[in-house]
Amino acid sequence: GESVGLHLPTLSVQEGDNSIINCAYSNSASDYFIWYKQESGKGPQFIIDIRSNMDKRQGQRVTVLLNKTVKHLSLQIAATQPGDSAVYFCAENIGGTSYGKLTFGQGTILTVHP
């Protein structure tokens, strides 16, 4: 079946660097995308979302880019901090009457070295 995937399973960066986490999706009907952060022993925590009518959305230190042509999603974290170390998941949703059905990617482990 169609699913969300990731290019890189692990990413190591130095504190202060910018991080980019990538995600490829295959369902062209998906119109809502979410990035989650999961720290050890905790549930996933919302970071930022983007709808398919947008190409870019910015939050505090984070930016999500959506390229519908190649079905690619990325999360950029500026000035990465040790507290950003976690597993990051992208998720997609078709919306409409199926807005409750989220499909998650495998996750990327981000490690930030002091």
Partner 1 sequence: EAQVTQNPRYLITVTGKKLTVTCSQNMNHEYMSWYRQDPGLGLRQIYYSMNVEVTDKGDVPEGYKVSRKEKRNFPLILESPSPNQTSLYFCATGQRNTEAFFGQGTRLTVV
For residue 36, the minimal CB distance to partner 1 (Å) is 8
Using CB under 8 A, pick the residue from 74, 80, 85, 93 that binds partner 1. 93
Binders of partner 1 in range 29-88 (CB under 8 A): 32, 34, 36, 41-46, 49, 51
For residue 19, the minimal CB distance to partner 1 (Å) is 19
Distance CA 96, CA 53 (A): 14
SS3 category, 44: coil
Please write down the HEC assignment for all residues of 48-109.
EEEECCCCEEECCCEEEEEECCCCEEEEEECCCCHHHCEEEEEEEEEECCEEEEEEECCCEE
Using CB under 8 A, pick the residue from 53, 60, 70, 100 that binds partner 1. 100
For residue 15, the minimal CB distance to partner 1 (Å) is 27
